[in-house]
Amino acid sequence: MRWIIPDGWMPTGSSAGIDAHEAVCVVNLATHDAQLTFTFLFEDREPDVVDGLICGARRSRHFRLDWPHELGGYRLAAETPYSLLVESDSPISVQHTRVDTRAGGIALMTTMAGALHRMTL
Amino acid sequence: MRWIIPDGWMPTGSSAGIDAHEAVCVVNLATHDAQLTFTFLFEDREPDVVDGLICGARRSRHFRLDWPHELGGYRLAAETPYSLLVESDSPISVQHTRVDTRAGGIALMTTMAGALHRMTL
Amino acid sequence: MRWIIPDGWMPTGSSAGIDAHEAVCVVNLATHDAQLTFTFLFEDREPDVVDGLICGARRSRHFRLDWPHELGGYRLAAETPYSLLVESDSPISVQHTRVDTRAGGIALMTTMAGALHRMTL
Amino acid sequence: MRWIIPDGWMPTGSSAGIDAHEAVCVVNLATHDAQLTFTFLFEDREPDVVDGLICGARRSRHFRLDWPHELGGYRLAAETPYSLLVESDSPISVQHTRVDTRAGGIALMTTMAGALHRMTL
């Protein structure tokens, strides 16, 4: 199954000790690990592919997109429009969240990723 | 039917008299009660299961996740990544909302839970 | 078609001249009007039904839930948990949004309503 | 495929150098460009149609709705209720986001657009 998040844009800054960021949250209800690939698509260049990511069996995993060590060393460009495709070798569910602290305080937004079935893509 | 929320993370703190929290909101349109089970999945340990929850016939129910008395005494760890699986013995709909007051003011985010059909899991 | 929003809770207050509110936003792409019924479900009492609402042909309609004159005179209780069922005699799409100004500033949250097909309810 | 966003309302104002706006974010995973048409529906007048928009092959595109040069010169009325229909000649995914700075700070909300299949409209 493939999951898509059209609106990625990771803010920078910090407020009240909270760093602005985006996160991709994955849950794997199965009894075996899920192997994940993240493909970042941009407005004006070819996609970047990060593979070798794992969400363990019966585990939640929240990938901080501002932390390269959670993305196999990949450094996602901040304040740059992107979309994210999440592919998995077994069924998972995916949600994407933005935490914006640029203007002080916090703003949050979240959405379930869109499920791409064969029929839709 | 089963419903999934990948991004759970319950903030703490208070602003303008409003306590930070998350809530799971359920609605049951049927003429009989729905029996619910909540399974909390984590990044680094086995899931916790809370059963015996009820959403009455033709009723809305907003479960505050920071109030153990609404979860059969279960105390959800705050500021800890989790995912939530909601199972019901009859059709319901489920939405998950975060209220974050850590930086003063309020930030909100919400999503419908993802519906898990047999074909997807 | 029927649409459901599990998490309704309408805040009160005002900030920067903006009144806290919730809104149900409907769009009707067809060439004939859609007749709508709103059913408000609560935690501890029977549902309230508001019918006779209309979304015109090829029109958007944003129903302010704090304005009884947009709900046929119905006054939705503020700061009270509810869920909302939207029924229509022809295909529409439905989104629900909360504007919270209780702590100063604004917080927003929104979700597409869940579509209830025969198979799910 | 057609995508719908019922709740459009583009705020104005600026906070911390951030202009209030709404954006429609599109991603095209295919190896050919997608031709897009945006139809804006209103409460009290006929829809406006903007065509000739493109999302390139294997590209993300974030359309700022307050920037006429990204909409073929179309100027979307601010602080006016609307809904948006996005049509594409090939499969895409669509998300809609609001950035509200009217009261200082930032508020965010987002939703995946609703997918309109033949069966639902």
pLDDT, tens only, B15-55: 999 999 999 999 999 999 999 999 999 999 999 999 999 99
pLDDT at C65: 98
Contact: D1, A120; criterion CB under 8 Å: yes
B49–A contact, CB cutoff 8 A: no
pLDDT at A119: 44
Contact: C112, D110; criterion CB under 8 Å: no
Contact: A41, D29; criterion CB under 8 Å: yes
Closest CA in chain C for residue B1: C120
Instruction: Return the C-alpha torsion angle A84, D36, D31, A96, nearest 10.
Output: 10
Q: Residue B70: left (phi > 0), alpha (psi -120 to 50), or beta?
A: alpha
User: Given pLDDT bands bounded at 50, 70 and 90, which one contains residue A87?
Assistant: very high
CA distance C107 to chain B (A): 5
Per-residue pLDDT for D121 more than 60? no
| Per-residue pLDDT tens over the stretch C54-103 | 999 999 999 999 999 999 999 999 999 999 999 999 999 999 999 999 99
Q: How far is C56 from D42, CA to CA, in rounded Å?
A: 10
CA distance D37 to chain A (A): 17
pLDDT at A30: 97
Asked if B22 and B96 touch (Cβ cutoff 8 Å), the reply is yes
Residue A30, C-beta contacts closer than 8 angstroms, at least 6 positions apart: A57, A58, A90, A91, B121
pLDDT at B103: 92
pLDDT at A1: 85
Closest CA in chain A for residue D2: A120
Q: How far is B75 from B70, CA to CA, in rounded Å?
A: 10
Per-residue pLDDT for B88 more than 80? yes
User: Given pLDDT bands bounded at 50, 70 and 90, which one contains residue B76?
Assistant: very high
Q: Name the residue with higher pLDDT: B61 or C120.
A: B61
Nearest-CB residue to A7 (from D25, D29, D30): D25
Enumerate neighbours of B (3 or more CB pairs within 8 A). A, C
Find chain D residues with C-beta within 8 A of A16's C-beta.
none
Instruction: Return the C-alpha torsion angle B110, A64, B65, B53, nearest 10.
Output: 90
Neighbour order of strands in the sheet with B48-55: B48-55, B34-42, B82-88, B2-8, B114-116
| Per-residue pLDDT tens over the stretch C16-66 | 999 999 999 999 999 999 999 999 999 999 999 999 999 999 999 999 999
Give how far the C-alpha of residue A3 lies from the chain's centroid of Cα atoms, to the nearest Å.
10
Q: How far is C37 from C46, CA to CA, in rounded Å?
A: 16
Nearest-CB residue to A103 (from D16, D30, D110): D16
pTM of the model: 0.97
Provide the 3-class DSSP secondary structure of residue B85: strand
Side-chain-facing half-sphere of D41: CA atoms under 13 Å: 25
Find chain C residues with C-beta within 8 A of B58's C-beta.
41, 46-47
Contact: B95, C6; criterion CB under 8 Å: yes
| Per-residue pLDDT tens over the stretch A30-67 | 999 999 999 999 999 999 999 999 999 999 999 999 99
Per-residue pLDDT for B118 more than 60? no
Query: Bridge partners of B31?
Result: none
CA distance D35 to chain A (A): 15
Least confident of A115-119, C4-8, C100-104: A115-119
Contact: A58, B46; criterion CB under 8 Å: yes
Find chain A residues with C-beta within 8 A of B103's C-beta.
15-16, 18, 101, 104-106
Residue B68, C-beta contacts closer than 8 angstroms, at least 6 positions apart: B74, B75, B76
Contact: B109, A108; criterion CB under 8 Å: yes
C105–D contact, CB cutoff 8 A: yes
User: Given pLDDT bands bounded at 50, 70 and 90, which one contains residue C1?
Assistant: confident
Q: How far is A90 from A2, CA to CA, in rounded Å?
A: 10
| Per-residue pLDDT tens over the stretch A6-29 | 999 999 999 999 999 999 999 999
| Per-residue pLDDT tens over the stretch D58-79 | 999 999 999 999 999 999 999 9
Per-residue pLDDT for C121 more than 50? no
pLDDT at B1: 85
The average pLDDT across C4-21 equals: 97
Q: How far is B112 from A62, CA to CA, in rounded Å?
A: 18
pLDDT at C6: 98
